[in-house]
Amino acid sequence: MQSFTFHSPTEIIFGKGEETNTGTLAKKYGGNKIFVVYGGGSVVKSGLLDRVVASLAGMEYCLFGGVQPNPLLSHAREGVQKAIEFGADFILAVGGGSVIDTAKGIAHGAKNPSIDIWKFWKREEIVPASLPIGVVLTISAAGSETSNSAVLTDEVKGEKRGLNTEFNRPCFTIMNPELTYSVPKYHMAAGIADIMMHTMDRYFTQETEANELTDAIAAGLLRTMIKNAPILLDNPTDYNAASEIMWCGSLSHNGITGLGRPFDFSVHGIGTELSGRFDASHGATLTTMWGWWAQYVKDINPARFEKYARDVWGVEGADAGITATVDFFKSIGMPTNFTELGIGVQPDNVIEEMANSAVFYGGRKVGNFKPLEAADVAAVYRLANR
């Protein structure tokens, strides 16, 4: 096991009705002027936003809605300006990953008003400080409620970029599985895929020696997802299945399923280009690419794929594990090629453009299981281009 530093400071408040404690928690972490970030009408129609606002009694607050999936840089920038004008000292996200990531961008920008937030995402500036963030989670998917990650999309250039910094860690996250009951089935399935991929993109690494506990945690989380996903998709109000999946989502992306080894995240790196360019669901882009990536790289370390097949799926052989994974994605209604994703077969110039963008035009390689250069990324895209 390699050396590592693990810091997961987010306080988790898990259970039914816990959203009524939002105000108390915000005050605990220094909040007096609360900038509330949310998405569309679901949190309004369900009454959740009203319950959260009621919990802020005695505190000033400002509402900022309109976050959409694949959250937009322009909207986050607008939020930064409004948060500054309001004098916010605490950012509260009420929603899923897109809302949380937008809230993170607003927190960074409001604390550093002289720096355009996209410079953080483009790695032109390092986040020096940020406002505290709290979360009321409404969908099990991105894991942003406990992670150090955030993703935004520059819709003008069609660029989707991620930012990792410890300032992205929320102070607290309220997790009531009942709040996920109204999530549409497709989005629920995409969230399930995203949760699984957060661990799978950590699992596949060349550094595998003496890492038994991390492997066991990762495999156990994946088996829990495989067991409970069909139950939840069949009955979205099954509290036990919803609670297992919600907790898996947070653990899958807080870092614990990859401790003691380098992260890969190749599939996230190449899937991000699809969602940035075509506005496709993030989870769906991951299932579109995983099987083709796996076929492309499996011979680099077949033993790793064999262990994955055995420990996660109970089958023997690298190919059997890959097939089981792809079949599972299909069984929950997720795409596994470009046509199923809804973008159709792409011309070669688009393939090349996406591949070059994925490697930051020569500025990096993607992943470490097999570090992918632009030609490798293009080759994987071409396998999926059917």
Percent helix, strand, coil in the chain, to 5, is: 55, 10, 35
> Taking CA 351 as the corner, what is the angle to CA 347 and CA 354, rounded to the nearest 5 degrees?
140
Residue 384 pLDDT > 70, yes or no?
yes
Same domain, 218 and 264: yes
Mean pLDDT score, 344-373: 96
**What confidence tens digit (pLDDT) does each residue in 64-77 have?**
999 999 999 999 99
Whole-number average pLDDT of the chain? 96
Judge whether 231 lies within some domain. Answer: yes
Q: Is 137 helix (H, G, I), strand (E, B) or coil?
A: strand
pLDDT at 29: 98
Same domain, 152 and 207: no
Instruction: Give CA–CA dist 172/175, Å, rounded.
Output: 10
Instruction: Give CA–CA dist 189/333, Å, rounded.
Output: 7
Judge whether 6 lies within some domain. Answer: no
Are the C-beta atoms of residues 372 and 359 closer than 8 Å to each other?
Answer: yes
At 364, the pLDDT band (50, 70, 90 cuts) reads very high
Same domain, 192 and 150: no
Domain that holds residue 305: 188-384
Considering 179, 205, 232, which residue would you say is the last residue of a domain?
179
**What confidence tens digit (pLDDT) does each residue in 233-245 have?**
999 999 999 999 9
Instruction: Give CA–CA dist 329/308, Å, rounded.
Output: 16
Same domain, 98 and 164: yes
CATH number of the structural domain spanning residue 44 = 3.40.50.1970
Judge whether 1 lies within some domain. Answer: no
Judge whether 56 lies within some domain. Answer: yes
CATH number of the structural domain spanning residue 224 = 1.20.1090.10
Same domain, 31 and 145: yes
Same domain, 277 and 377: yes
Instruction: Give CA–CA dist 77/86, Å, rounded.
Output: 14
pLDDT at 11: 98
Same domain, 154 and 221: no
Judge whether 192 lies within some domain. Answer: yes
Same domain, 166 and 220: no
Q: Is 82 helix (H, G, I), strand (E, B) or coil?
A: helix
Q: What is the pTM of this model?
A: 0.94
**What confidence tens digit (pLDDT) does each residue in 112-153 have?**
999 999 999 999 999 999 999 999 999 999 999 999 999 999
Scored b (16 or more CB within 10 A) or e, 243-276 reads: bbbbbbbbbbbbbbbbbbbebbbbbbbbbbbbbb
Considering 157, 179, 201, which residue would you say is the last residue of a domain?
179
Are the C-beta atoms of residues 193 and 332 closer than 8 Å to each other?
Answer: yes
Judge whether 304 lies within some domain. Answer: yes
pLDDT at 208: 62
Considering 179, 207, 242, which residue would you say is the last residue of a domain?
179
Task: Give the residue from 159, 149, 161 showing the smallest Cα distance to 202.
Answer: 149
Instruction: Give CA–CA dist 271/199, Å, rounded.
Output: 15
pLDDT at 211: 87
**What confidence tens digit (pLDDT) does each residue in 311-342 have?**
999 999 999 999 999 999 999 999 999 999 99
Place of tokens 């096991």: 1
Place of tokens 């989707």: 160
Same domain, 158 and 218: no
Judge whether 3 lies within some domain. Answer: no
Q: With pLDDT > 90 as the criterion, what percentage of the chain qualifies?
A: 94
Token pair, residue 94, equals 């009420």
Which contiguous run of DSSP H or E holds residue 161? Answer: strand 159-164
DSSP secondary-structure letter at 10?
A: P
Same domain, 143 and 208: no
Mean pLDDT score, 51-59: 96
At 222, the pLDDT band (50, 70, 90 cuts) reads very high
Count of domains forming the chain:
2
Same domain, 139 and 222: no
Instruction: Give CA–CA dist 307/301, Å, rounded.
Output: 10
**What confidence tens digit (pLDDT) does each residue in 270-282 have?**
999 999 999 999 9
Judge whether 260 lies within some domain. Answer: yes
Residues paired with 135 in a beta bridge = 93, 173
Token pair, residue 263, equals 């992260």
Same domain, 163 and 261: no
Handedness of CA 56, 60, 66, 68 (dihedral sign): negative
**What confidence tens digit (pLDDT) does each residue in 290-315 have?**
999 999 999 999 999 999 999 999 99
